[in-house]
Chain A
């Protein structure tokens, strides 16, 4: 018999909430925002495989995301069907990701990040400057959304459900990956690459496969993005997009499954709210980065949990102090060397 843990109940409740969302939200504007959150969450989850579980920070994922979108848009524009175009787009994205991985894995740490940044800029350069192919700054329009199994995705609700299905597949595949032996070895390469090598694991190959997996899901998110907007332009390939994806991962808490999803929700909602009042989204984005670094370096989900624990312990401590003992009631601070996702272990053996 399966025992129902609170965890399972929470997952079931969240699922029910997501499934019925168009019914109780009503307004298609908000349904569209929910679709945006889900599609960005797929990208954030994909990036999280690298940032959180492999310890490799990429600033080039917007390039992979847009590679799928652009390829599909071009093929659809050339008169190919949606299915063929999407399959080809994912294949091209995988091939690009393989090259991306081979180059970026020449280094780890800062070097990896800088190389991914440079590759991301190359892809931006192609989208922006190779105007005869990509139509430059004007971008490419896609006439229609696909209609899988004869179901039209033109409406906000229908598209939401399509996005939800893809999102759930993404979450399930990430959960399986993280819990699989491969996921364990991936975390091993993050924490102790030298020991993993000594144990006979091929660290390079493990990282390479993780990047491929991440690139594939980034491509899927890119396709969702293309169909959501029915339009793609070089703006998507800009460093800002990679940075936003990274912000989603970090703000939610990297190395957790829920974190990037919450992060995507926070960033998308904030972007929509802020854009409604001021033009200065980049300014706000920059400020959030600096605030998070200063106050919650481990991300909002684990960070709030820490603050909550600290507050609760302080309360309990004060209640006890009312009794006899005058024991120090301050919540124990995190040990100095506590490993947060933001501070990976130095890459040195013992």
Chain B
């Protein structure tokens, strides 16, 4: 019984992390139609930066925020100066982001070596919480709470603010949005930077739990991809549901079929592609 409960808690925590990773991917891929193959690299580089800051004795939240800010700047610069010039050209965008992903992976290997880095869980987030006679590790719960809070904030931002309305307008019809005075290009840079920041934040949050190691980037990228295909491209609710689904599948698959756990992850994606290609919560594009 307690094994299953532990698995469930781990699954929810991993789901929270996956949401931080894939919400940004969903925004960039779904709204801006940019196949950002360096999203896993944002996650990994963010995690490495955060771990380095933690090593210097910086507060955990401060480290996560600083790393997110740094990745926002890097992501914003790449969008503004390189991806912008390739607007609407899928293949060059793929090659450019893939090229950066390889460079980031190699530079990280050079700077942080091939050994895994696992910072200790910060003191004030250690320990367990007792709910209804059951014990839950505090840090895992915090990850979930942060993910849910960010999900709510993103939903409010995109669906209920002026900024969100402007972003949606820019996505639906960029030329007309420009005519009515919306600076679409600046908004897109903002969205890209936000996506990069979310991934980096997730990377730091996940570091004490997953540890950071070379190859993490291309391990996380397909996960973000599955979540987004599963939930529906561009749908935040879909990303949330997909993240938790994959979180459960990963942990339970690992416990029950360790050899095939990684493959099992992809099964729901394949099913969805065959039965409902637009994803669980995706809109049908006519």
Chain A residues in the interface with B (C-beta under 8 A): 51, 57, 59, 102-103, 106-107, 109-110, 113-115, 117-119, 121-122, 125-126, 128-133, 238-240, 243, 246-247, 250, 280, 282-283, 285-290, 292-293, 297, 342-344, 346
Contact = CB atoms under 8 A, between A and B. Distances in A.
B229 A114 contact: yes
Contacts of A293: 86, 92, 95-96, 99
Interface residues of B, number: 42
B256 to A, nearest CB: 14
A250 B96 CA distance: 12
B262 A289 contact: no
Given A109-B90, A126-B263, A342-B89, A286 B229 contact: no
Nearest to B110: A280
B263 A110 contact: no
- Please name the 6 residue pairs, one residue from A and one from B, whose CB atoms are nearest each other, closest first: A289-B99, A286-B102, A125-B262, A286-B103, A283-B106, A286-B99
B103 A132 contact: no
B156 interface: no
B99 A57 contact: no
B218 to A, nearest CB: 6
B107 interface: yes
Given A115-B273, A130-B259, A342 B102 contact: no
6 contacts: A103-B270, A128-B262, A129-B262, A283-B103, A289-B102, A343-B91
A35 B90 CA distance: 33
Given A106-B274, A118-B225, A285-B99, A280 B261 contact: no
Given A110-B90, A118-B229, A289 B96 contact: yes
B143 interface: no
Given A282-B102, A293-B86, A125 B263 contact: yes
A113 B266 CA distance: 16
A114 B225 contact: yes
Interface of B: 29, 33, 35, 37, 82, 86, 88-92, 94-96, 98-103, 105-107, 110, 218, 222, 225-226, 229, 258-263, 265-266, 269-270, 273-274, 277
A132 B259 contact: yes
Specify which of B92, B229, B260 lies most central, judged by the most chain A CB atoms within 10 Å of its CB.
Answer: B92
Contacts of A128: 262
A126 B89 CA distance: 33
Given A289-B98, A343-B92, 9 more contacts: A113-B94, A114-B35, A115-B229, A121-B218, A125-B263, A283-B107, A285-B99, A286-B101, A293-B99
B98 A243 contact: yes
Nearest to A254: B91
Nearest to B105: A282
Nearest to A115: B273
